[in-house]
Structure 1
Amino acid sequence: MAIRKFAVLGALALAGVSLFGLSAKADDVTITVWSLDRDIQPAPNLVKDFNKLNNGIKVEYRQIQFDDVVSEAMRAYSTGQAPDIIAVDNPEHALFSSRGAFLDLTDMISKSTIVKPENYFPGPLKSVMWDGKYYGIPKATNTIALYYNKDMFKAAGLDPNKPPQTWAELVEDAKKLTEPSKNVYGITFSAKANEEGTFQFLPWAQMAGASYDSINTDGAVKALEAWKQIIDEKLASPDTLTRSQWDSTGTFNSGNAAMAISGPWELDRMLKEAKFDWGVALLPVPEEGAKRSSAMGDFNWAIFANTQHPEEAFKVLEYFVSQDDRMFKDFGQLPARSDLTIPETGQPLKDAALKVFLEQLKYAQPRGPHPQWPKISKAIQDAIQAALTGQMSAKDALDQAADKIKAVLG
């Protein structure tokens, strides 16, 4: 139903009917948009399509680089040169919101017939909130789950239709699947000392009852000890501590690891590279019946507080939201919304995997939200590295991280 409605709206717009109640005028209002998106990604294409509406608003697009988003955007805001709209990585959103750099959209959203908070997965929605108010709109989302090699499961005497459900089962299966003589590890993931390491570890801690502001609970210690066991028993490659998610998943694709923790961004690559039967399962939980969690990635839209055209900027965002049903079909990205149906691709492995990732998204949680997220994340990264390299016990490493985070939180 939702897809049909948006299709009708899109047809009306292309037919020259104003979607948002603005008639064309000689002096168009210009709205600037900054995003990382390249020409094959959503932002520049949505901008191009919006401009075809000729509804009195003209959008200008600028592509920026990932490493420059925070510094360049904050500098532009402080000098009055900020764009009207920007796409920011979800863990960075609170930094801007807490400093008053982003416009409070709560009232606009409450009056909108297009942007409806109840249509979003909880995690992405939480990432645009600060102090109980909405300072943005989720743009797209992703998460992580467990890829596994069904052929290797069969060869090891494991049921290819029963991937591990708990941490204990994951470790036991990894032991059975590890074959040093063939250079095959039981599992691969990223414990790198950057945001990717935090991205992969935090769900384990959360499933065990911890959170970023209580990272040294008994459950979180157990989670890090499980990672340590996997490394110590060589069930994962030693370079797990230095490899990115992309590189570690490549190990799985090449047949050198039987399981991998990674995201939906790998699906097309996997279809090309993996010469075996594979499946995707929800992340294992600490024990049967435990609550689930998962990581949450991708970007949010926001309007800068010093925009001269807040209403027009919001209408641009409303248009972007009205095109969310294209997010996967046209750009291969998962919409942050639970009310949209992802169309089948006709590729059974991919379609089955997408169903699992969409289920996993129900439990995905943002990193933070907190304006000092990079410092919080660094404390967690340091703990992971200290424990996995044997410099400290898991408990001591997480106790140290908790102290650092407490200092950050004040």
Structure 2
Amino acid sequence: MLKRTLFVAAATLASFVSTAKADTVLTVSYALASSYKATQEEIAKMFEASHPGVKIVFRAPMATYDDVVSDLLRAKVTGGAPDVAYVGMNHIGLAADRGIAIPLDRLVKDASELDGLGYYPFILSLGRVNGKLYGVPFAISLPVLHVNLDLVEKAGGSLENFPATWEGVTDLGRKIAKLDGKPIGFTFQYDAWGSWTLNNLVASAGGRMDGANGCGTGFESEEGRWAFDTLQMFHDKGMPALTWQQVPQAFAAGTVGIAAASGSSIVKYEQQSKGKFRYATLPFPMKAANGTLAAGGSLVINTASGAEKQKMAWEYIKFATGPEAQTVMVKNSGYLPVSEIAAETPNYLGDYFKVHTNQAVQLNQMKTLSPWFIWPGESGIKIFSVVQNQIDAIIGGKARAADVVPELAKEVGVMLPTCKASK
């Protein structure tokens, strides 16, 4: 009996000691496992190695950034939020307004700490809301043209004389579609979540998704109508309604000539095209000299509870957006780095971009960066679905842009909060 008592006591003491020495666990939520899983796991190992006593535990990856945010909003009510979350670049305003991200300013020692982290000068502005820093961008994607050079040349085109307008691109796509084997000439990622590619069409023309004074929508502006008319042109010139999941498979098989989509697929396409066809990327066509491109990708927010967890989450965020981790992310994915140090330093990505010219195409367009828009109010995310339904109708030939635009402007308008700006 005494032996049993001593054994139980020893086991209890061992359990207590083990618990006392247990790792600090940071739970992390992210989306898009196909793009990020390998990167997230590698960065976690690097962070754990440099921070003994800290363990990174990942939640099951979500399908989209919207799903991550929806999960965070539920956790705000029910509890069980992660300590760190990767959300879409357009979600930062919502994350701040709904209180699911804590201001990072309270964890920053002083201005010199941020200055010393080596980000591009404009990067942190993408994570600020009303002057406070709520998130740090992790990976940036811009839209590009993915090109099957073999099909382009068979159709009489070339990289040197590639069209710089959507009219020219779609005309070349029609020529490709007439080749033997009936390849798909041109695709456009019309169904990107968060209206990202619509946002990019509007922004490339110098416009905005909302009204000029921040009220209503910008759909009926000159730039807004042009964007929807361009989607109409894509349908009229024979672009098939392939989803964002279908296009990568078809492109990798060598059956798509030109695909306008996120540059985040570049590394994957380079690997998949080897031995099949020559692959290249070209810049997203810009409509206006003052045009911009909406920054896609993700940023990291601190959702931890308790001072110590929040401090460690901030350490993780700095590490994930630092040059070493950013180098891993770029080489694994095709997204752009937020770390200027990583992009410019030869041992990180400086030499890498000189060799990997397809990824450098995106990098050269970083100067055109603008925020990815999100609609304000409680219905902000729902509005994206409403807009997407109408885009689907245009691309699928079930509606005309000229009819959709005024009706969509009204439908979205009533879903928006009352605008206080002067008319």
* TM-score scaled by length of structure 2: 0.76
Q: In structure 1, which of residues 359, 363, 371 is the aligned counterpart of residue 368 of structure 2?
A: 363
Partner in structure 2 of residue 327 of structure 1: 328
Partner in structure 2 of residue 178 of structure 1: 177
Give 1:115 shift: 3.5
- Give a deviation string over 1:189-238, Cα, whole Å, max 9, x none: 2323x617x2222211222233221123222222222222222232x22x
Worse overlay, 322-331 or 252-261: 322-331
Partner in structure 1 of residue 29 of structure 2: 35
Partner-residue secondary structure (3-state), 1:258: strand
Contact 1:142 1:264 in 2 (8 A): yes
1:407 aligns with 2:414: yes
- Give a deviation string over 1:257-284, Cα, whole Å, max 9, x none: 3211123332343234432223211111
- Give a deviation string over 1:66-87, Cα, whole Å, max 9, x none: 1552343233333453333222
Give 1:336 shift: 2.3
Higher normalized contact order (CA 8 Å, seq sep 6+, divided by chain length): 1
Q: Are the structure 2 counterparts of residues 270 and 135 from structure 1 closer, same or farther at C-alpha, using a change threshold of 3 Å?
A: same
Q: Distance in 2 between matches of 1:173 and 1:47?
A: 44
Q: Distance in 1 between matches of 2:109 and 2:167?
A: 46
Q: In structure 1, which of residues 384, 396, 399 is the aligned counterpart of residue 391 of structure 2?
A: 384
Partner in structure 2 of residue 302 of structure 1: 301
Q: Are the structure 2 counterparts of residues 363 and 375 from structure 1 closer, same or farther at C-alpha, using a change threshold of 3 Å?
A: farther
Q: Distance in 1 between matches of 2:374 and 2:304?
A: 19
Q: Are the structure 2 counterparts of residues 337 and 154 from structure 1 closer, same or farther at C-alpha, using a change threshold of 3 Å?
A: same
- Give a deviation string over 1:350-369, Cα, whole Å, max 9, x none: x1101101123333444324
1:204 aligns with 2:205: no
Q: Which amino acid aligns with 1:279?
A: A
Partner-residue secondary structure (3-state), 1:32: strand
Partner in structure 2 of residue 340 of structure 1: 342
Q: Are the structure 2 counterparts of residues 209 and 396 from structure 1 closer, same or farther at C-alpha, using a change threshold of 3 Å?
A: farther
Partner-residue secondary structure (3-state), 1:87: strand
Partner-residue secondary structure (3-state), 1:139: strand
Q: In structure 2, which of residues 223, 230, 239 is the aligned counterpart of residue 226 of structure 1?
A: 230
Give 1:135 shift: 0.5
What 5-or-longer segments of structure 1 have no aligned partner? 1-25
Larger Rg: 2
Q: Are the structure 2 counterparts of residues 391 and 71 from structure 1 closer, same or farther at C-alpha, using a change threshold of 3 Å?
A: closer
Q: Are the structure 2 counterparts of residues 273 and 105 from structure 1 closer, same or farther at C-alpha, using a change threshold of 3 Å?
A: closer
Partner in structure 2 of residue 13 of structure 1: none
- Give a deviation string over 1:40-77, Cα, whole Å, max 9, x none: 5344433333333456x634423233155234323333
Give 1:328 shift: 3.5
Q: In structure 2, which of residues 395, 402, 405 is the aligned counterpart of residue 398 of structure 1?
A: 405
Could you tell me the percent identity over the aligned residues?
20
Partner in structure 1 of residue 187 of structure 2: 188
Q: Which aligned pairs between 1:159-178 and structure 2 lie closer than 5 A?
A: 159-178=158-177
Contact 2:86 2:299 in 1 (8 A): yes
Q: In structure 2, which of residues 54, 61, 71 is the aligned counterpart of residue 58 of structure 1?
A: 54
* TM-score scaled by length of structure 1: 0.78
Contact 1:380 1:398 in 2 (8 A): no
Task: Tell me the C-alpha RMSD between the 2 structures.
Answer: 3.3
What 5-or-longer segments of structure 2 have no aligned partner? 1-19, 211-217, 344-348, 418-423
Give the length in aligned residue pairs: 372
